[in-house]
Structure 1
Amino acid sequence: MADAPSSAGDSVAPFVARPNLVLAMLLLVYIFNFVDRQILAILAAPIQADLGLSDAQMGLLGGVAFAVLYSTLGVPLAWLADRTSRSWVITISLGIWSGFTALCGSVQSFTGIFLCRLGVGVGEAGGVAPSYAVIGDYFPPKRRAFALSVYSLGIPLGSTIGVLAGGYIASQIDWRTAFFTVGLAGLLIAIPFKLIVRDRPRPTRSDQNDSPQFLEIARLLSRKPSFWLLAFGAASSSMLGYGLAFWLPSLLQRSFGLDLMQTSHFIGAIMLLGGVAGMLAGGWVADRLGSRDKAFYAWVPASAFFIGVPLFSGGIYSSNVWVAFALFLIPQAMAYVWLGPVLTAVQHLVPPPARSIASAMFLLINNLIGIGGGIYALGALSTALTPIYGTEALRYSMLYSLILYAFAAMLTGLAGPFLRRDWVEEIRTDG
């Protein structure tokens, strides 16, 4: 990867894509990121039946081990992207995680699929933070939060496609073909992605010794209260978000009596309708309010978390599935509002050459706590509450866990005034 063409080399290429086309390609790659990440959940039952795996083994495949590698490797890969070529790091990462996803279809044991899923995590570690930085390079500050929100649509779109496509292919053929199909599809888009997405002009290699070093960036961020408040506020919300996403299917089947197909339709609908609306609204509102006061990049997410708590409570506690759907729809949108504003704010806590590293450090905190802790925490609480609530323990585990959103609202709200001081302005010549 060290021999990949530099960004300076890309900048003189005869073809320079429009920002919206670049954003579309980044979104497509992010969709595959979440398809490959989430497909394991819908294929769990046939995989367990075929390979004889336990629930504990399935938990290892998608839980803490994935979060640790995915999060920690993101930092050095982001450093490499800032020092060489962001588009090349994304392209190679796409090839790695897609290749390992395809290999999952050929495994014959727990060890084999465990190693392949580690490979998926390693590959995905190099995709997100450099993509944030590319968006920062292509879009001016007044459009950046909305652009990042469009990019983040890959989360609900990829999750939904992964569940629906994986389930359909597995039911019509088998689970191995599902892995082969989505993995090979990701490999096919790697070449057109690199041809279209080029790095914007940055310092040449001879000038990069003047670029911020990793420890310098870490020290810079450590001195900014806004970074810690936004990072731990987002991590708190992600604990609940990942936990609800994992356990909501079980709640719908245990407490609302839905079957598997009804559950997938319920979740798919709220993710697409609520998720897309929340993503776009968060970026659009933050760009407009943030142009007047940088604090709104934190206050918009804080308001969304605050609004989401009572509505999620009503949906979880409801006994009618249609009432629950209506109540879940709005807070599902609120759950995604934070991405565009917070990611934009993190990009502006450091100089432009350090954006990938800053994003990776933010993701390290968010993903380790969110992915690594959220699913386990809700499940453990449900187990602890079973002697009291019986079969309704999961419902009350979710209700009690909503305190995480209240905590997220408090932390992100407190970050607002600090953002005014910590914000790093930039000079752009392209508007």
Structure 2
Amino acid sequence: MSESTMTETAVPPPSPVLAPTQARPRYRVLVMAALFVVYTLNFVDRQILSILALPIKTELGLTDTQLGWLGGPAFALFYTFLAIPIARLADRMSRVRIMAVSLALWSGFTALTGQVGLFWQLFLCRMGVGVGEAGGVAPAYSLISDYFPKHQRARALAVYSFGIPFGSALGILLGGYIATAVNWRLAFTVCGIAGLIMTPIFLICVREPMRGAFDAVKNAGAPVPLRAVLSILGTKPSFWLLSAGAASCSVLGYGLAFWMPAFLARMHGMALKDVSLLLGVGSLVAGTLGIWAGGALADRLGSARKAAYPLVPAVAFLVAVPLYALGFLAKELWLGGALCTLPLALGLAWLGPVIAAVQHVVPPAMRATASAIFLFINNLVGIGFGIFFFGRLSDLLAPRYGTEALRYSMLIGLGFYLLSALFFILSSRRLERDWER
């Protein structure tokens, strides 16, 4: 990028800015803890609908297709399309403040969801949650990259991504138990209020770091035009292949996360409370181990060969597919649960390696925007299409397979892991050349 371009678009960095020498290890732990809690709340509010789909469907008389609309397009529409402009602001303004405003917005709409009585009202509330969460992730990726040096980023991003299994587990457990004890409406209200309480705490605990503090270009805070980011990414085929691979695996990942409670209830006759306990504990344990293993393995192997970053999840998905297939077909609950535990962990091993690779294919001043473009592709396809895909396919298969329709829709969906593995293998061939030194 030319010096004139950088000068033309430069704006003063937000103040106060934390200097690299101030980012002591103990303070980094505090920052990571705050980011983790916010991401956990992000997934609590995002995933709670999955465990509450059964009582909501019963009370409001919804079809699987309508549930798919609520879990997919209703959330993903604004979530994906607003992420890029918000990330552009994050490359110019305080990422901490943007995340705090986002947290307050999505938490408020989550609490409001507990007051609705019609499908269209629920749809609008889920859209509101998506609007808020659009500013919650890309700025965090950029913050982490400025708090941790290169050789620790995959693990740092993996620790941050623990918010996915923790948030999913907490949402499932809280949602299931509160819905069983009282009703599904209170579950949304409680989770939303928790996020509103966290907002001022986050603002107090986290300070804005210097951009590019651990990179070759110090204080790389001058933002660049979107066209310049796209121009850089146009020369990086590995970025687009990584995005396609993440989107493909997210179709299955988000689809299974949303529909597994319904699968267990229909195929194995489990009660809501039992479903929440099984999935909550399973998501927490297997998901955390899978995310950490993927990040740690990528950091270890990636120091010698950058291709390891996408190859680690590619291998994980190839192993996960047959195990998931056997688990879905199992008639006994204990056998199905045992067979699905390992692939549940393997299915989240991509987060640390792939997100870290995305951070390294662009200069520091472009990271939030590049992350938002990555998330746009990932979430538009993964959330927007994935959850709806399984619900619609289940309704289409119902005339032929009856109550088994959801089982077969999930089996068909395993093909997306194979497609993801192919994209990651292709990206591994170009990543070394596209890596920013």
Structure 1 and Structure 2 fold alike (TM over 0.5): yes
How far, CA to CA, are the matches of 2:422 and 2:387 in structure 1?
Answer: 22
Q: Are 1:284 and 2:291 matched, yes or no?
A: no
How far, CA to CA, are the matches of 1:424 and 1:370 in structure 2?
Answer: 27
How far, CA to CA, are the matches of 1:318 and 1:388 in structure 2?
Answer: 20
Deviations, residues 330-367 of structure 1 (Å, cap 9, x unaligned): 10010000000000000111101111111100010010
RMSD: 2.4
How far, CA to CA, are the matches of 2:221 and 2:273 in structure 1?
Answer: 56
Alignment partner of 1:9 out of 3, 12, 16: 16
1:350 is paired with a residue whose SS is: coil
Q: Match for residue 363 of structure 2?
A: 351
Alignment partner of 1:268 out of 262, 265, 280: 280
Deviations, residues 303-354 of structure 1 (Å, cap 9, x unaligned): 1111111111111122222121111011001000000000000011110111
Select between 60-69 and 288-297 the one with higher mean Cα deviation: 60-69
Q: State TM-score, norm by structure 1.
A: 0.90
* Structure 2 counterpart of 1:158, one-letter code: G
Alignment partner of 1:137 out of 146, 152, 161: 146
Cα gap change, 1:292 to 1:39, in 2 (>3 Å): same
Q: Match for residue 9 of structure 2?
A: none
How far, CA to CA, are the matches of 1:183 and 1:150 in structure 2?
Answer: 24
Q: Are 1:126 and 2:138 matched, yes or no?
A: no
1:319 is paired with a residue whose SS is: coil
Alignment partner of 2:405 out of 393, 401, 413: 393
Percent of pairs with identical residues = 51
Whether the aligned pair in 1 keeps the contact of 2:320 and 2:346 (CA below 8 Å) is yes
Q: Superposed, which structure 2 residues align to 1:49-128 within 5 Å?
A: 57-128=66-137
* Structure 2 counterpart of 1:119, one-letter code: G
Select between 148-157 and 371-380 the one with higher mean Cα deviation: 371-380
What is the CA-CA distance between 1:197 and the residue it aligns to?
1.0
How far, CA to CA, are the matches of 1:309 and 1:49 in structure 2?
Answer: 32
How far, CA to CA, are the matches of 2:284 and 2:98 in structure 1?
Answer: 29
How far, CA to CA, are the matches of 2:221 and 2:17 in structure 1?
Answer: 20
Q: Match for residue 316 of structure 2?
A: 304
Gaps of at least 5 residues in structure 1 are 426-431
2:347 is paired with a residue whose SS is: helix
Whether the aligned pair in 1 keeps the contact of 2:320 and 2:347 (CA below 8 Å) is yes
How far, CA to CA, are the matches of 1:9 and 1:322 in structure 2?
Answer: 54
Q: Match for residue 3 of structure 2?
A: none
How far, CA to CA, are the matches of 1:389 and 1:46 in structure 2?
Answer: 23
Whether the aligned pair in 2 keeps the contact of 1:7 and 1:198 (CA below 8 Å) is no
* Structure 2 counterpart of 1:283, one-letter code: G
What is the CA-CA distance between 1:112 and the residue it aligns to?
3.8
What is the CA-CA distance between 1:44 and the residue it aligns to?
3.6
Whether the aligned pair in 2 keeps the contact of 1:95 and 1:186 (CA below 8 Å) is yes
Whether the aligned pair in 1 keeps the contact of 2:328 and 2:411 (CA below 8 Å) is yes
Deviations, residues 50-95 of structure 1 (Å, cap 9, x unaligned): 6666665544333212112101101000110110111111111111
Cα gap change, 1:322 to 1:171, in 2 (>3 Å): closer
Cα gap change, 1:289 to 1:106, in 2 (>3 Å): same
Cα gap change, 1:290 to 1:9, in 2 (>3 Å): same
* Structure 2 counterpart of 1:216, one-letter code: A
Q: How many residues align?
A: 418
Alignment partner of 1:332 out of 322, 344, 358: 344
Q: Are 1:24 and 2:30 matched, yes or no?
A: no
How far, CA to CA, are the matches of 2:62 and 2:342 in structure 1?
Answer: 37
Cα gap change, 1:248 to 1:410, in 2 (>3 Å): same
* Structure 1 counterpart of 2:151, one-letter code: K
How far, CA to CA, are the matches of 2:202 and 2:239 in structure 1?
Answer: 32
Q: Are 1:250 and 2:243 matched, yes or no?
A: no
Cα gap change, 1:388 to 1:167, in 2 (>3 Å): closer
Cα gap change, 1:416 to 1:53, in 2 (>3 Å): closer
Whether the aligned pair in 2 keeps the contact of 1:7 and 1:202 (CA below 8 Å) is no
Deviations, residues 260-308 of structure 1 (Å, cap 9, x unaligned): 3332222223211210110000000000100111110111111111111
Alignment partner of 1:371 out of 383, 391, 401: 383
Deviations, residues 217-240 of structure 1 (Å, cap 9, x unaligned): 012112211011111111111111
Cα gap change, 1:14 to 1:177, in 2 (>3 Å): farther
Cα gap change, 1:390 to 1:307, in 2 (>3 Å): same
* Structure 1 counterpart of 2:45, one-letter code: D
How far, CA to CA, are the matches of 2:201 and 2:21 in structure 1?
Answer: 15
How far, CA to CA, are the matches of 1:116 and 1:130 in structure 2?
Answer: 23
How far, CA to CA, are the matches of 1:62 and 1:394 in structure 2?
Answer: 16
How far, CA to CA, are the matches of 2:55 and 2:71 in structure 1?
Answer: 16
Whether the aligned pair in 2 keeps the contact of 1:7 and 1:200 (CA below 8 Å) is no
Cα gap change, 1:227 to 1:130, in 2 (>3 Å): same
Whether the aligned pair in 2 keeps the contact of 1:286 and 1:341 (CA below 8 Å) is yes
How far, CA to CA, are the matches of 2:181 and 2:130 in structure 1?
Answer: 28
* Structure 2 counterpart of 1:229, one-letter code: L
How far, CA to CA, are the matches of 2:332 and 2:38 in structure 1?
Answer: 38
Q: Match for residue 156 of structure 2?
A: 147
Q: Are 1:170 and 2:182 matched, yes or no?
A: no
Q: Match for residue 417 of structure 2?
A: 405
How far, CA to CA, are the matches of 2:406 and 2:270 in structure 1?
Answer: 15
Q: Match for residue 429 of structure 1?
A: none
How far, CA to CA, are the matches of 1:341 and 1:422 in structure 2?
Answer: 15
Alignment partner of 1:201 out of 191, 207, 210: 210
Q: Are 1:40 and 2:52 matched, yes or no?
A: no
What is the CA-CA distance between 1:185 and the residue it aligns to?
1.3
Q: Match for residue 294 of structure 1?
A: 306
How far, CA to CA, are the matches of 2:146 and 2:202 in structure 1?
Answer: 17
Gaps of at least 5 residues in structure 2 are 1-11, 213-218
Q: Match for residue 232 of structure 1?
A: 244
Cα gap change, 1:12 to 1:421, in 2 (>3 Å): closer
